[in-house]
């Protein structure tokens, strides 16, 4: 990933999202491009136009925390966007860029045991590239279509969503799933621009999917710690599951666990899915 291009495109895209009216600035006449002008962002951030122009050209090296704070306020960045800006600035720092320690290709046995102990809740472990590295029995049952599509390789959310037509049947809200997945990859690119596997993944998806390419160009980033996801499972039908994410900082991985509201149709279907998973896992005689 080219850090300067990431910075330039991120700041430009955030500037384009804010109107002068939203920023409390007067607006005169028709604008050729949407959003704020560079001079207006500089005014809001309390820096010179020349300095902000340098930043937007992709040079965040040596920028202070106070300037990052001012930029975040001027561009109305949310927490995820602010963290992304900090990651981009850190990667642009002086000295040779070092890639983060590579996330493991397998989870530790203790993590797998924790997953397996969660018998009533689907659970998976993901890395920042959206590879699913481990799951419990119910997690494998929930994501059966994606695991099948991977054909023995590590299932990847982005590849399944953008390259496999079955994903549009699997996700109850495909557009939202696609947006969220690209936002996660954007955040990971800011944290680790030297990740060769991530660069190759983005290149592959950009080449093969117009839907991915359009979303990648938006430079949206989000945090997905809690929420609700709708599924259309081929065996049990519609599921609406709450999820919670738990980071494993030592490993650079994330555990995602799902559950259904007690007494709901989704809870009944989740029990049916658990029964199906047990049947599928049973040895044949």
pLDDT attached to residue 64: 93
In this prediction, residue 275 carries a pLDDT of 94
Query: Per the domain annotation, does 141 fall within a domain?
Result: yes
Residue 102 domain flag: no
CATH number at residue 29: 1.10.260.40
Domain boundary among 43, 59, 91: 91
Name the token pair of 239: 């599921």
Shared-domain flag, residues 81 and 159: no
Contacts of 185 (CB under 8 A, 6+ apart): 128, 129, 130, 158, 198, 201, 202, 216
In a domain, 67, yes or no: yes
Q: Is residue 103 part of a domain?
A: no
Residues 53 and 115 in one domain: no
CB of 195 within 8 A of CB of 99?
A: yes
Which residue, 190, 81, 174, 181, is CA-closest to 132?
Answer: 181
Q: Which two tokens stand for residue 162?
A: 């953008």
Residues linked to residue 259 through DSSP beta bridges, in sequence order: 242
Whether residues 40 and 149 fall in one domain:
no
Pick from 137, 122, 117: which is nearest to 231 by CA? 122
- Within 8 A by CB and 6+ apart from 142, the residues are 122, 231, 233, 239, 258, 273
d(CA 167, CA 266): 20
Assess whether 72 and 127 both reside in one domain: no
User: Are both 121 and 260 inside the same structural domain?
Assistant: yes
Distance CA 9, CA 95 (A): 23
CATH number of the domain where residue 121 is located? 3.30.450.180
| pLDDT in the model for residue 222 | 86
pLDDT at res. 34:
78
What is the mean pLDDT, run by run of 10 residues, along the chain of 285 residues?
90 93 81 86 96 94 93 94 94 62 77 95 96 96 96 93 97 97 95 91 97 96 90 97 94 95 97 90 44
Amino acid 238: pLDDT: 97
Question: pTM for this structure?
Answer: 0.88
Residues 141 and 179 occupy one common structural domain: yes
Please indicate, yes or no, whether residues 158 and 274 belong to a single structural domain of this protein.
yes
Last residue of one domain, picked from the residues 91, 126, 158:
91
Q: What is the pLDDT of residue 285?
A: 35
Please give the pLDDT value at position 27.
75
In a domain, 101, yes or no: no
Which residues form the domain of 166?
109-281
234 domain-assigned: yes
Q: Would you say 11 and 76 are in contact if contact means Cβ atoms under 8 Å apart?
A: no
> How many domains, in total, are found in the chain?
2
Same domain, 135 and 172: yes
Say if residue 37 is in the same domain as residue 165: no
| Same domain, yes or no: 29 and 126 | no
Identify whether residues 64 and 113 lie together within a single domain. Answer: no
pLDDT at 244: 96
Same domain, 86 and 142: no
CA 241 → CA 157, 244, 264, 269, 275, distances in Å? 17, 10, 10, 11, 17
């Amino acid at each position: 990933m080219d850090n300067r291009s990431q910075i330039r495109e991120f700041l430009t895209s955030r500037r384009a999202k804010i109107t002068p009216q939203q920023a409390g600035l007067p607006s005169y006449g028709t604008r050729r491009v949407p959003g704020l002008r560079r001079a207006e962002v500089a005014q809001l951030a309390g820096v010179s136009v020349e300095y902000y122009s340098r930043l937007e050209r992709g040079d965040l090296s040596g920028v202070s925390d106070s300037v990052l704070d001012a930029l975040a306020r001027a561009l109305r960045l949310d927490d995820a966007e602010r963290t992304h800006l900090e990651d981009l600035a850190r990667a642009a720092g002086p000295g040779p860029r070092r890639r983060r320690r590579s996330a493991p290709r397998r989870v530790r046995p203790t993590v797998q045991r924790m997953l397996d102990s969660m018998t009533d809740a689907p659970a998976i472990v993901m890395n920042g590239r959206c590879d699913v590295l481990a799951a419990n029995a119910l997690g494998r049952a929930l994501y059966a279509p994606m695991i099948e599509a991977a054909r023995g390789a590590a299932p990847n959310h982005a590849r399944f969503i953008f390259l496999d037509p079955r994903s549009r049947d699997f996700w109850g809200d495909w557009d939202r799933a696609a947006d969220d997945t690209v936002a996660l990859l954007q955040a990971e690119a800011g944290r680790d621009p030297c990740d060769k596997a991530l660069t190759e993944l983005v290149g592959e998806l950009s080449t093969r999917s117009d839907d991915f390419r359009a979303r990648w160009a938006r430079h949206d980033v989000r945090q997905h710690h809690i929420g609700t996801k709708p599924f259309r499972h081929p065996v049990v039908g519609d599921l609406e599951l709450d999820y919670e994410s738990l980071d494993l900082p030592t490993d650079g991985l994330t555990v995602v666990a799902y559950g259904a509201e007690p007494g709901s149709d989704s809870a009944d279907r989740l029990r049916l899915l658990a029964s199906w998973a047990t049947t599928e896992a049973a040895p044949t005689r």
